[in-house]
Amino acid sequence: MPLSCQSAGQMSQFRFKQFVIDHGDCGMKVSTDGVLLGAWSQPGTASNSLDIGTGTGLLALMLAQRFPSLSLTAVEYDTAAFRCAELNVKHSCFARQIQVHHADINAFERTEQWQHIVCNPPYFTSGAPSSNQQRAVARHANTLSHPALIACLQGLLTPTGCADLILPSKEADAFIHSAQGQGLFLRRQLSVRPTPDKSPSRLLFTLSPTTDVVRSDTIAVRERDGAYTQAFADLTRAFYLKLS
């Protein structure tokens, strides 16, 4: 569910209300998926948060805007994407809240644990990777497999921490099942429908080492006439310029 760029003469930029994302050199551009996750993610009372595979830095910037006291660490493996995120953070008014690291999360220093993790992970575990190398890194789990990501979440979360993620519905079900086998349990989920009459295409979900009653909701992005639904507009209003 990609969104078109909102820019002043530069198709490589996407302008939000409080920051600008330059994504010209990044494999994955700004999309509805990322915006939904950034708007839905809930660090709660966490003082620190880790953004795994930050890409353009979108999620870290959205969380910094929503939670002024939250300290964020954004990690990116791809060199071009890291440079992109670093500049986007530097040019924002949230630079003091966010540290951007060029690192492989599998080898990232684990002396610290995080109360909150957010991740828009590589989606596909099968099929042919994109011919665009950067896009392939961003979309396919060849560089960060889902079992490896689950192991990272297990090792990096505090005992009461939580991780917010988004995946296509089929991949999400398999991911959640595998995570439960490793001691990470579903706490809440949001099924995303392109329109009210279509089947869910994405699932946003929260995992935690602790168990509780699972909260489940559904949202549609657009009405049948193409307009944003009221629920989607309310969720993303703080970010999109077109939503007053």
Vertex 202, ends 200 and 207: CA angle to 5°? Answer: 120
Q: State in words which class domain 13-236 has.
A: alpha beta
Whether the pLDDT of residue 135 is over 60: the answer is no
The CA distance from 45 to 103, in Å, is 27
Here the tokens at position 201 are 């295409």
pLDDT in tens, 18-39: 999 997 777 778 999 999 999 9
Give the mean model confidence (pLDDT) for residues 175-190: 98
pLDDT in tens, 144-165: 899 999 999 999 999 999 999 9
Give the mean model confidence (pLDDT) for residues 212-232: 97
In this prediction, residue 231 has a pLDDT band, given cuts at 50, 70 and 90, of very high
Q: What is the largest CA-CA distance in the chain?
A: 51
Here the tokens at position 94 are 């949230």
The string of DSSP letters for 24-61 reads TTSSS--BHHHHHHHHH---TT-SEEEEET-TTTHHHH
Whether the pLDDT of residue 3 is over 50: the answer is no
Q: What is the pLDDT of residue 1?
A: 37
Q: What predicted TM-score, i.e. pTM, was given to this entire model?
A: 0.89
pLDDT in tens, 70-106: 999 999 999 999 999 999 999 999 999 999 999 999 8
Q: What is the pLDDT of residue 2?
A: 35
Q: What is the pLDDT of residue 88?
A: 97
Whether the pLDDT of residue 188 is over 60: the answer is yes
The CA distance from 61 to 188, in Å, is 23
Q: What percent of the chain is modeled with pLDDT above 90?
A: 79
In this prediction, residue 11 has a pLDDT band, given cuts at 50, 70 and 90, of low
> Which of 8, 34, 13, 33 has the alpha carbon at shortest distance from 24?
13
Q: What is the pLDDT of residue 143?
A: 67
> Would you tell me how many other CB atoms lie within 10 Å of the CB of residue 74?
29
Whether the pLDDT of residue 129 is over 70: the answer is no
| Burial environment of residue 155 by CB neighbours within 10 A (0 to 12, 13 to 18, 19 or more) | exposed
Q: What is the pLDDT of residue 128?
A: 44
Q: What percent of the chain is modeled with pLDDT above 70?
A: 87
Packing angle, helices 32-40 and 58-66, rounded to 10: 30
- CB neighbour list of residue 138: distance below 8 Å, 6 or more residues apart: 26, 27, 28, 53, 55, 78, 81, 122
Q: What is the pLDDT of residue 112?
A: 84
Q: Are 176 and 146 in contact (CB under 8 A)?
A: no
- pLDDT, the chain, mean: 89
Here the tokens at position 104 are 């492989």
Whether the pLDDT of residue 232 is over 50: the answer is yes
Q: What is the pLDDT of residue 108?
A: 82
